[in-house]
Chain A
Amino acid sequence: MAKKRVMIVGGGLAGLAAAMKLAEVGIEVDLMSLTPVKRSHSVCAQGGINSCNDLTRQQGDTEWKHFDDTVYGGDFLQHQPPVKEMAYWGPKIIDLMDRLGVTFNRTPEGFLDRRRFGGTLYKRTAFAGATTGQQLLYALDEQVRRWETAGMIKKYEFWDFLGPIVDDQGICRGCVGQDLVSMEIRSFPADGVIVASGGAGLIYGRSTMSMACTGSAASRCYQAGVKYGNPEFIQVHPTAVPGADKLRLMSESARGEGGRVWVPRTPHDPRNPMSIPETERYYFLEERYPKYGNLVPRDIATREIFDICVNEGLSVDKDRQCVYLDLTHIERSELNRKLGGILEIYEKFQGVDPRDTPMKIFPAVHYFMGGLWCDYQKSADGGLVVGSPKNQVTNIPNLYAIGECDYQYHGGNRLGANSLLSCIFSGLIVAPGVEALLQNSQGAAADLPASLFAQAKKQHQERHNQLLKNAGGENPYLVHQELGEVMTKAATVVRRNAQLEAAYETVSALQERARNCSLSDTGSWTNQNVVFTKALQDMFPMAKAILRGAILRDECRGAHYKPDFGMPALASTDDAARHQEAQEWCDRFEVNNQKFLKSTIATYTPSGPEITYEDIDTSLIPPRPRLYGLVGAEVIEQVWKERQAAKDSKSGNGAGVGGAGKVAATP
């Protein structure tokens, strides 16, 4: 009998964490990646990785509060058990990365230094300069190289995942890949396939994502029948530096270290920003959100920057939209020590030293909270059963999804410095489950009839050959540009149904055009043209799922902001009337939750996505209004608490934490 093997698709943090953990328990791994894994998009993560720690603990922080911040920041759209488990693993994951040699910044006494990130009041974030993602990725890359040297991991770098191989019973038995150099297409039998392919920023043309983030692997799974969860939830990062080829991220850590966002009170003030006096500067985040200031959650910071530029006309420049992100009040040596990496990027690409001159930034598409649907097994204490093969498995048995390409951890909005945690966590948690899967399964995939694998290969070879022959006259790069423009306009910060419907029509038309591409390279050696065209074609099913999900969700939640369906601020000034208004607000909030506090589930059909909704496990922390900065927030919060207390006393349920067992809920 052949030996059982696991195929991992993608070598970022999630894929590498899974690979090293599987190798440790003696399972041989094939690792397929579009790029050498050390060049994966995780290197672009800058700010840090969150966990409760010894210091914050003494200030009242707990893993539970990290869990609470994550679901509150995500507007309660996540199933809570996986998020809880992740928060409780947080400190252990940072310890592990420390042991693997990550060059985290240190305190004078030699402990890990921490900074504050958005959506929390605690300094939870461990960091390595401003290149934390790069440093974490390298530590995992090194461990994987160690296992590769020992013969436990075989890398297939510069390979494209073309799709899972699913047998007659609907079980995944491996995948098909293509060598991007020789263009050879090959079937890989595998007893488990773990997709860790990251986000799909290229659907938006330019974003903060890397060029490998086409979403093609996730799309190919979706088209093969994997459900796609919460597609409409796309994080637009508040601070990026616009560029012709890419929108370069300016980390939230710039604000975490004291960076202030402002615009001149006079529109397009032509003066040098350093000579504009304090009184003529509008620090709009600090004024509008006194509690969190510049560190409000990302969706809110993004909308405010957008609002200042688009609605208030206060953009710094007249001909393009941007606001100042100012670090000039901070000591140079401190900036170099804590933010050196990102400041150098700005200096290199903009030719201006951000230590002397405020940076010009604007929001950009950054992260996909949604992704491939996956399952979990809930434990008695409301976390996960470690070692269950259900953890991270998609609706196709033996096919798993982890990292940014899954939909599991961030709900409606991701908190800063939580993605590095969710990527490593999902990689570590999937491994023992897959180990159990292999132990319990009969026979190895490699011993299945060869026809299954030959057939899958043939199907992909035919698609490839057909593309080379196409002569429809369309240029894939230009179609891609148009797709990016439509998606960026309709499905980012502010969403309106008429615009989304129009965009859906345009995207459908573009999809037709993408089928008629003529390739400028029809060769069979390192043909990037055909690989890109395939990826482009596979962007459309996902783009349509994003748009359809957004059209059908008539509410505001997390990053999905539809002003036509917003919850109003309280208007009256009289106490009693305000209280009454807050009651009505809460009624409306509850009615809305009954309808929309559900995961959007897109199922692929050739004519477009079928959308259904799935109930969410909110048994640990009852959903509550997310009220950062809303006028009347205190009154609503008060009224909401009274209502909850009344409900709890009626049901006799102490704190409303069904299933949480011994863990105490916090208000």
Chain B
Amino acid sequence: MSDHSHNDNASHTSHGGGHAPPDSFEVRVLRQDSPGQASYWERHRVKYEPEMNVISVLQQIAAHATDVDGKRVAPVVWDCNCLEEVCGACTMLINGRVRQSCSALVDNLLAEHPGEIELSPMSKFPVVRDLMVDRGRLFRALQKVEAWIPVDGYYDMGPGPRQSQSTQEQTYPLSECMSCGCCLDACPQYLKVELTREEGESEADFEARKRAAYDEGFIGAHAISQVVLFNMNPTGKMQAGERLDAMMEEGGLMVCGNAQNCVAVCPKRIPLTTSIARAGRATTVRMVQKWFGK
């Protein structure tokens, strides 16, 4: 697989490939009422309108709340916010591919696959309900690798260090990561961790148990790339060693199997495999330094 292959998010609208648009189309949704319950497919018929995206499809489904046979059903639950592909919330599997539903244009989807659109929740995170999943593990990974600049405080200390244009041009794309989780969903090494609260377990105990389980699993490409970002910052660099150490723990960088799916599905085209390679070199150096007691 090529490092430069990426999804076709930016491909031009085909407007149904020159055919007349359909009056309506079918949407198959993989639903699940709550965690631990079985999932099931439900079919909806949606009226075609120009310039629809998957969000407007789901809005129509929510407003009508009847399935293809006219049976009353609860509205499909999904997560969204900005609707312009900068918040990362509305990520799901659309026709089997992980991406944001706001930037998934119906004309393009129907051109690829006439007559039907298939929606299912992300596959590597516990389903909360329907298309909504719990991505808490993703944010936990950012804690683990200390993805922040360790400033002394927030009083006025003058400007930050000067940085070259070329540094900014390398760091800016990495800092566009919106924690959507596409890279994790597509990664063969990133395995689902799903825990349920036990009887009598306190909320705090459950949270602690989840954190521990998350920390054993793979941190994923997004967190590795954030380490590279913060280790490039002149102030962030001062804690580069601690971040590299975190990546050398269980669930760290060595879990990566180099499948390179992450970079192929990243909606922001972040050079994730480049980050992984850089992090690999840096951890090797770090390890050697540690052997020699530096």
CA distance A98 to B236 in the complex (A): 12
Q: Which residues of A contact B169 (CB under 8 A)?
A: 337
- Return the contact of A104 from the options B139, B158, B168, B230 (Cβ within 8 A): B168
- Return the contact of B139 from the options A38, A107, A143 (Cβ within 8 A): A38
Cβ contact within 8 Å between A245 and B55 = yes
Interface string of B45-88 (1 = CB under 8 A from A): 00001111101100100110100000011110101111111111
A452 located at the interface, meaning its Cβ lies under 8 Å from any Cβ of chain B in the complex = no
A437 located at the interface, meaning its Cβ lies under 8 Å from any Cβ of chain B in the complex = no
CB nearest neighbor in B for A142? B148
The stretch among A145-153, A256-264, A301-309, A547-555 that forms the contact with chain B is A145-153
A578 located at the interface, meaning its Cβ lies under 8 Å from any Cβ of chain B in the complex = no
Q: Which residues of B contact A351 (CB under 8 A)?
A: 11-14, 105
Cβ contact within 8 Å between A344 and B10 = yes
A523 touching B163 in the complex, CB below 8 Å, given contacts A341-B176, A478-B63: no
B156 located at the interface, meaning its Cβ lies under 8 Å from any Cβ of chain A in the complex = yes
Cβ contact within 8 Å between B12 and A352 = yes
Cβ contact within 8 Å between A521 and B75 = yes
CA distance A98 to B146 in the complex (A): 18
Q: Which residues of B contact A210 (CB under 8 A)?
A: 81-83, 87
A56 located at the interface, meaning its Cβ lies under 8 Å from any Cβ of chain B in the complex = no
Q: How far is the CB of A29 from chain B (nearest CB, A)?
A: 14
- Return the contact of A129 from the options B82, B142, B149, B172 (Cβ within 8 A): B172
Cβ contact within 8 Å between A131 and B157 = no
CA distance A110 to B166 in the complex (A): 9
- Return the contact of A38 from the options B80, B162, B179 (Cβ within 8 A): B179
Q: How far is the CB of B137 from chain A (nearest CB, A)?
A: 12
Cβ contact within 8 Å between B178 and A128 = no
- Return the contact of A44 from the options B82, B146, B168, B175 (Cβ within 8 A): B82
B2 located at the interface, meaning its Cβ lies under 8 Å from any Cβ of chain A in the complex = no
Interface string of A131-160 (1 = CB under 8 A from B): 100110011001101101100000000000
A96 touching B154 in the complex, CB below 8 Å, given contacts A131-B86, A248-B83: yes
CA distance A109 to B165 in the complex (A): 8
A526 touching B132 in the complex, CB below 8 Å, given contacts A21-B154, A131-B86, A347-B10: yes
B24 located at the interface, meaning its Cβ lies under 8 Å from any Cβ of chain A in the complex = no
A110 touching B163 in the complex, CB below 8 Å, given contacts A92-B156, A245-B59: yes
B160 located at the interface, meaning its Cβ lies under 8 Å from any Cβ of chain A in the complex = yes
Q: Which residues of B contact A270 (CB under 8 A)?
A: none
Cβ contact within 8 Å between B163 and A99 = no
CB nearest neighbor in B for A242? B51
- Return the contact of A211 from the options B14, B83, B171, B175 (Cβ within 8 A): B83
Q: Which residues of B contact A475 (CB under 8 A)?
A: 63
CA distance A475 to B157 in the complex (A): 55
For window 75-106 of chain B, which residues contact chain A by CB distance below 8 Å? 75, 77, 79-89, 102-103, 105
CB nearest neighbor in A for B152? A99
Cβ contact within 8 Å between A134 and B128 = no
Q: Which residues of B contact A341 (CB under 8 A)?
A: 86, 176
User: What count of chain B residues pass the 8 Å CB interface test?
Assistant: 75
CA distance A24 to B49 in the complex (A): 51
CA distance A132 to B55 in the complex (A): 25
A103 touching B62 in the complex, CB below 8 Å, given contacts A143-B148, A345-B84, A352-B12: no
A41 located at the interface, meaning its Cβ lies under 8 Å from any Cβ of chain B in the complex = yes
Q: How far is the CB of B17 from chain A (nearest CB, A)?
A: 13
Q: Which residues of B contact A138 (CB under 8 A)?
A: 175
B38 located at the interface, meaning its Cβ lies under 8 Å from any Cβ of chain A in the complex = no
Cβ contact within 8 Å between B147 and A145 = yes
Cβ contact within 8 Å between B154 and A39 = no
- Return the contact of A145 from the options B81, B142, B176 (Cβ within 8 A): B142
Q: How far is the CB of B273 from chain A (nearest CB, A)?
A: 20
CA distance A138 to B175 in the complex (A): 8
Cβ contact within 8 Å between B86 and A101 = no
A246 located at the interface, meaning its Cβ lies under 8 Å from any Cβ of chain B in the complex = yes
Cβ contact within 8 Å between A211 and B81 = yes
Q: How far is the CB of A412 from chain B (nearest CB, A)?
A: 27
Q: Which residues of A contact B164 (CB under 8 A)?
A: 106, 110
A613 located at the interface, meaning its Cβ lies under 8 Å from any Cβ of chain B in the complex = no
Q: Which residues of A contact B160 (CB under 8 A)?
A: 95, 98-101
Cβ contact within 8 Å between B143 and A43 = no
CA distance A663 to B17 in the complex (A): 65
Cβ contact within 8 Å between A244 and B53 = yes
Q: Which residues of A contact B14 (CB under 8 A)?
A: 351
B258 located at the interface, meaning its Cβ lies under 8 Å from any Cβ of chain A in the complex = no
Cβ contact within 8 Å between B86 and A100 = no
Q: Which residues of B contact A310 (CB under 8 A)?
A: none
B288 located at the interface, meaning its Cβ lies under 8 Å from any Cβ of chain A in the complex = no
Q: Which residues of A contact B163 (CB under 8 A)?
A: 106, 110
B153 located at the interface, meaning its Cβ lies under 8 Å from any Cβ of chain A in the complex = yes
B5 located at the interface, meaning its Cβ lies under 8 Å from any Cβ of chain A in the complex = no
- Return the contact of A526 from the options B50, B128, B165, B233 (Cβ within 8 A): B128
- Return the contact of B75 from the options A112, A129, A337, A520 (Cβ within 8 A): A520
CA distance A108 to B162 in the complex (A): 11
Cβ contact within 8 Å between A128 and B53 = no
A24 touching B153 in the complex, CB below 8 Å, given contacts A39-B89, A244-B52: yes
Q: How far is the CB of B165 from chain A (nearest CB, A)?
A: 5
Q: Which residues of A contact B50 (CB under 8 A)?
A: 244
Cβ contact within 8 Å between A43 and B86 = yes
B43 located at the interface, meaning its Cβ lies under 8 Å from any Cβ of chain A in the complex = no
Q: Which residues of A contact B236 (CB under 8 A)?
A: 101
Cβ contact within 8 Å between A110 and B162 = yes
A565 located at the interface, meaning its Cβ lies under 8 Å from any Cβ of chain B in the complex = no
B284 located at the interface, meaning its Cβ lies under 8 Å from any Cβ of chain A in the complex = no
Cβ contact within 8 Å between A520 and B143 = no
Query: Which of B34, B79, B84 has the most A CB atoms < 10 Å from its CB?
Result: B84
B200 located at the interface, meaning its Cβ lies under 8 Å from any Cβ of chain A in the complex = no
Cβ contact within 8 Å between A245 and B149 = no
A325 located at the interface, meaning its Cβ lies under 8 Å from any Cβ of chain B in the complex = no
B129 located at the interface, meaning its Cβ lies under 8 Å from any Cβ of chain A in the complex = yes
A246 touching B83 in the complex, CB below 8 Å, given contacts A35-B89, A478-B63, A525-B34: yes
Question: A99-B151, A103-B175, A243-B83 known; 6 other A-B pairs, CB under 8 Å?
Answer: A95-B157, A99-B160, A181-B128, A210-B81, A245-B55, A248-B84
Q: Nearest 7 pairs between A and B by C-beta?
A: A351-B13, A110-B162, A142-B148, A520-B65, A98-B160, A477-B63, A521-B74
Q: List 14 A-B contacts (CB under 8 A).
A: A35-B89, A96-B154, A99-B160, A101-B149, A101-B230, A103-B168, A103-B172, A106-B168, A128-B175, A129-B172, A135-B175, A244-B49, A477-B62, A521-B65
What is B's interface to A at a CB cutoff of 8 Å?
9-14, 33-34, 49-53, 55-56, 59, 62-63, 65, 72-75, 77, 79-89, 102-103, 105, 128-129, 132, 135, 139, 142-143, 146-151, 153-154, 156-160, 162-165, 167-169, 171-172, 175-176, 178-179, 230, 233, 235-236
